Structure 1
Amino acid sequence: MGHLVSSGPKVLVSADTVSANSVLDGLDPRSRIAAALAFAILIVSLKSLTVLALGFGLSVATLLATRLPVKATLRRMAAMDSFIVFMLVLLPFTVPGEALFFLFGFPFTFEGLLRAVEIGLKANAVILMLMVLVGTLEPVTLGHALHRLKTPETLVHLLMFTVRYISVLHQEYQRLRAAMKVRSFRLRNSLHTYKSIGYLVGMMLVRSVDRSERILAAMKCRGFNGAIPLLGAMRFSARDAVFTVVSALLAVTLVVLEWKIGAAY
């Protein structure tokens, strides 16, 4: 299975500088996945803006400690923000509460602003931690770690094949678009353009099905029986124990702060 994804994208986040970093190297991938999942569940369950800000600060501190490229990582996180920015902008106008001002007759409420800040902190803290702990894993390593964590094999297969063949489908799309440009096709607001784009999507689907059948036949010829051959053993070490203890202490600290702040109100 490893040869199927070896030529695809290596990691979600470029980790060129991680080779000289000793913080993540040596940790069992399962520890990193479990820590990221536990952190996400914890952050989503928090309500206090102060504690959420601390959680986001913890994500930033982890990013700095691992010496990942800060600008590139934050740029990818900003791309995620572009999907939720419209929701965050609309929340102050849709959540009932005390109006701070009116815009075109719509009240901008303080409660809606707090809700937008809460969602923004949660989303950015979780995504940043996932990018640091999980995004730097190679797809093959991530797939094997998920398999050892008893993730259904079908989902693991989908992950590994998706990572590998996204680039293949992109190349196929580029070839079809080049063929259209050679025939003097230009994007316009016309029925001909809409039909051409529809033909392009249809041809992509047809060629994808054809390629998937060839890949399946090639895999069967190589003895693939639906199981993932594990390329190496994964073992928890003393380093993973320290990482787990530190992560647990930080999680307990956030929970205690959340409880104290909630009790104060």
Structure 2
Amino acid sequence: MHHGKKGFIGKTIDGIFGFLEEAFVSDSFSKRDGFLQSLDPRAKLVSILTVIFAMSLIGDLRLLIFVYMLTLLFAYLSKIEILFFIKRVWLFIPIFAGIIAIPMIFNVFFPGDPLIRLVDLGSGAHLGPFSLPSSIYITKQGVNSAVIFTMRVATCVSAVVLLFLTTPQQVLFKSLRSVGVPKIYVFTLEMAYRYIFLLTDMVREIYIAKKARTIKTGGMFEEQKWVGGRIGYTLIRSLDTSEKVHAAMMSRGYNGDVKIMHDFKMRNRDYISGAIAVSMSVLLVLISHNIIR
């Protein structure tokens, strides 16, 4: 067996497992004695969903930054390491949103006042059937819109991450049902969370079996070719496993409801926290739309 540096497959699998463990195994945070952990899950869920909805209606960068700073404050009050929280939020989704927003900064897609001139094409420039402006530059309005879009995504993701980090998964699923989320959606989320680790273990076993039979590793192209072939096999096995699991659950009387030993009990602080979150969300939306100055 070849021993040495990890190849393309090994590095990919380690990266996937590391992300899943960091992204979904959050019991250590939900058991801490912090502010958000002490709130009733239903009040916390409604409050965060209200804030997210409000963020989708706000177009003022200053207000978005204000709410984002509040998420950092609540992370600190909930005894979550700030650097870990920032890395957790910005590692994937907001960066991806920023990449999507890049075309918005150019006058080709978003006309506006010039900020940085890039290329002078002259009059009558074309790209195939499309006519181009005489010069290509970055616009002030485009940069502002791209920053607002990225900051809005980061703020919403921060709120969702706070919810997942400070709430045990089964309690979160039960709270979704208690606030009226349809059973089928909660069931889908529950199964996805429960069996994503089963599928990753399946992938690990396939890779270990291959590695045990390998004397000399091939190049990256050969490993990528092997991965492509295993993707289809993994899909077939996952479908077969899902059918068997569903049949076993139904035979044991499962009806889609989340049943745990945790009982919900709203206290005064839960009502106050929820009322403050809803009131603040409404106020920020009104300020953003210049209804309140």
Residue 30 of structure 2 contacts residue 168 of structure 2 at CA under 8 Å; is this kept in 1? no
- SS of corresponding position for 1:100: strand
Cα deviation for residue 77 of structure 1 reads: 0.9
Residue 223 of structure 1 is matched in structure 2 by: 253
Residue 167 of structure 1 is matched in structure 2 by: 197
Give runs of aligned pairs for residues 78-89 of structure 1, distance below 5 A.
78-79=90-91, 80-89=93-102
Cα deviation for residue 187 of structure 1 reads: 5.1
Residue 55 of structure 1 is matched in structure 2 by: 67
Cα deviation for residue 203 of structure 1 reads: 1.2
Q: Is the counterpart of residue 103 in structure 1 residue 103 in structure 2?
A: no
CA distance in 1, matches of 2:29, 2:209: 39
* Cα pair distance change 1:54/1:133, threshold 3 Å: same
Identical positions, percent: 22
CA distance in 2, matches of 1:53, 1:245: 22
Give runs of aligned pairs for residues 1-265 of structure 1, distance below 5 A.
12=24, 14=26, 16=28, 19-79=31-91, 80-93=93-106, 94-105=109-120, 106-184=136-214, 186=218, 188-189=220-221, 193-194=224-225, 196-260=226-290
* Alignment gaps of 5+ in structure 2: 1-19, 121-135
Residue 39 of structure 1 contacts residue 251 of structure 1 at CA under 8 Å; is this kept in 2? yes
RMSD over aligned Cα atoms: 2.7
Cα deviation for residue 171 of structure 1 reads: 0.9
Q: Deviations over 1:116-147 (max 9, x none)?
A: 11112211111112211344212211110111
- SS of corresponding position for 1:45: coil
Residue 63 of structure 1 contacts residue 132 of structure 1 at CA under 8 Å; is this kept in 2? yes
Residue 110 of structure 2 contacts residue 139 of structure 2 at CA under 8 Å; is this kept in 1? yes
CA distance in 1, matches of 2:49, 2:232: 38
* Cα pair distance change 1:77/1:10, threshold 3 Å: closer
Question: How many pairs align?
Answer: 254
AA matched with 1:208: S
* Cα pair distance change 1:13/1:102, threshold 3 Å: farther
Residue 36 of structure 1 contacts residue 129 of structure 1 at CA under 8 Å; is this kept in 2? yes
AA matched with 2:143: L
Cα deviation for residue 54 of structure 1 reads: 1.7
- SS of corresponding position for 1:189: helix
Cα deviation for residue 257 of structure 1 reads: 3.2
CA distance in 2, matches of 1:200, 1:168: 16
CA distance in 1, matches of 2:147, 2:207: 42
* Cα pair distance change 1:127/1:42, threshold 3 Å: same
Which has the greater radius of gyration? 2
- SS of corresponding position for 1:165: helix
Q: Deviations over 1:37-85 (max 9, x none)?
A: 1101111101222222222222222222222121211111112223223
Cα deviation for residue 170 of structure 1 reads: 0.6
TM-score (norm 2): 0.76
Q: Please, which moves more after superposition, 127-136 or 216-225?
A: 216-225
* Cα pair distance change 1:202/1:114, threshold 3 Å: same
Cα deviation for residue 208 of structure 1 reads: 1.1
* Cα pair distance change 1:10/1:115, threshold 3 Å: closer
TM-score (norm 1): 0.84
- SS of corresponding position for 2:111: coil
CA distance in 1, matches of 2:246, 2:289: 53
AA matched with 2:85: T
Residue 130 of structure 2 is matched in structure 1 by: none
